């Protein structure tokens, strides 16, 4: 069974576009939640407190159902929508793109703005490193020391990596299970007497 994958950015990347004196600086960054997005946007607003607008778009989740585009005072659909369009055309998710605009004194018109925000966002994505990651479900596994050999053997046989390991008298770790195999692996773990598996939110 092939695991599901999604495309996202590895690290922050930047792009820039200039038109009639206006400067558009685009930041594209891996991001998983609205809360995280707010943090980045606040940082960019502070760093560019002389800028007229910080427009943005994001998309989250492997089903790509959570998304938003924001024009931040630019004419309706002239900024956020073309930025979101680039996220869609690169088929990315768990990504935020913010574009900072410094006004150059000459109005660009709606068509000019759409073009500028689109090109700036596209450049940031083209200069970034796009990676494919497996879609996973995070679970916490709890067991006693006696069960460790059986638990670790199963984890190893499915080529999984654990984190937050705690191997005291009572043992636990977190593990990311490939989404299509998560039920099956969870079931196999719970068939080991005394092992508890709980989903992490």
Q: Are 174 and 138 in contact (CB under 8 A)?
A: yes
pLDDT number for residue 47: 96
Residues 112 and 18 placed together within one structural domain of the fold:
yes
Domain of 194, CATH number, reads 3.30.70.240
Residues 117 and 187 placed together within one structural domain of the fold:
no
Residues 61 and 159 placed together within one structural domain of the fold:
no
Residues 54 and 92 placed together within one structural domain of the fold:
yes
pLDDT number for residue 2: 61
Q: Which of 111, 133, 155 is the last residue of a domain?
A: 133
* Pairwise CA distance, residues 145 & 170, whole Å: 6
pLDDT number for residue 63: 87
pLDDT number for residue 3: 72
What is the domain range of residue 116?
5-133
* Pairwise CA distance, residues 120 & 83, whole Å: 8
Please state the domain count of the chain.
2
- Average pLDDT per 10 consecutive residues for the chain, totaling 201 residues: 84 96 96 95 96 96 93 96 98 97 92 97 97 92 93 94 88 92 94 91 68
Residues 160 and 177 placed together within one structural domain of the fold:
yes
Backbone φ/ψ region at 12: left (φ over 0), alpha (ψ -120 to 50), beta? beta
Residues 110 and 176 placed together within one structural domain of the fold:
no
Domain of 83, CATH number, reads 3.30.230.30
pLDDT number for residue 132: 93
pLDDT number for residue 200: 82
Q: In what order do the strands lie in the sheet with 95-102?
A: 13-19, 22-30, 95-102, 53-60, 66-70
């Amino acid at each position: 069974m092939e695991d599901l994958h999604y495309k996202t950015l590895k690290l922050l990347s930047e792009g820039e576009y200039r038109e009639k004196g206006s400067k558009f600086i685009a930041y594209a960054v891996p991001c998983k939640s609205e809360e995280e997005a707010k943090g980045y946007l606040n940082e960019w607003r502070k760093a560019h407190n002389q800028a007229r607008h910080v427009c943005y778009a994001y998309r989250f989740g492997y089903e790509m159902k959570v998304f938003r585009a924001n024009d931040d005072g630019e004419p309706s659909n002239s900024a956020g929508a073309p930025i979101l369009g680039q996220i869609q055309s690169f088929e990315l998710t768990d990504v935020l793109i913010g574009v900072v605009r410094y006004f150059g004194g000459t109005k660009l018109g709606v068509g000019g703005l759409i073009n500028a925000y689109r090109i700036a966002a596209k450049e940031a994505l083209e200069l970034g490193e796009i990676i494919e990651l497996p879609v996973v479900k995070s679970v916490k596994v709890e067991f006693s020391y006696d069960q460790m050999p059986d638990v670790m053997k199963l984890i190893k046989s499915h080529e999984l990596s654990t984190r937050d390991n705690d191997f005291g008298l009572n043992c636990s770790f977190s593990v990311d299970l490939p989404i299509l195999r998560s039920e099956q692996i969870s079931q196999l773990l719970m068939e080991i007497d005394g092992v508890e598996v709980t989903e992490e939110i």
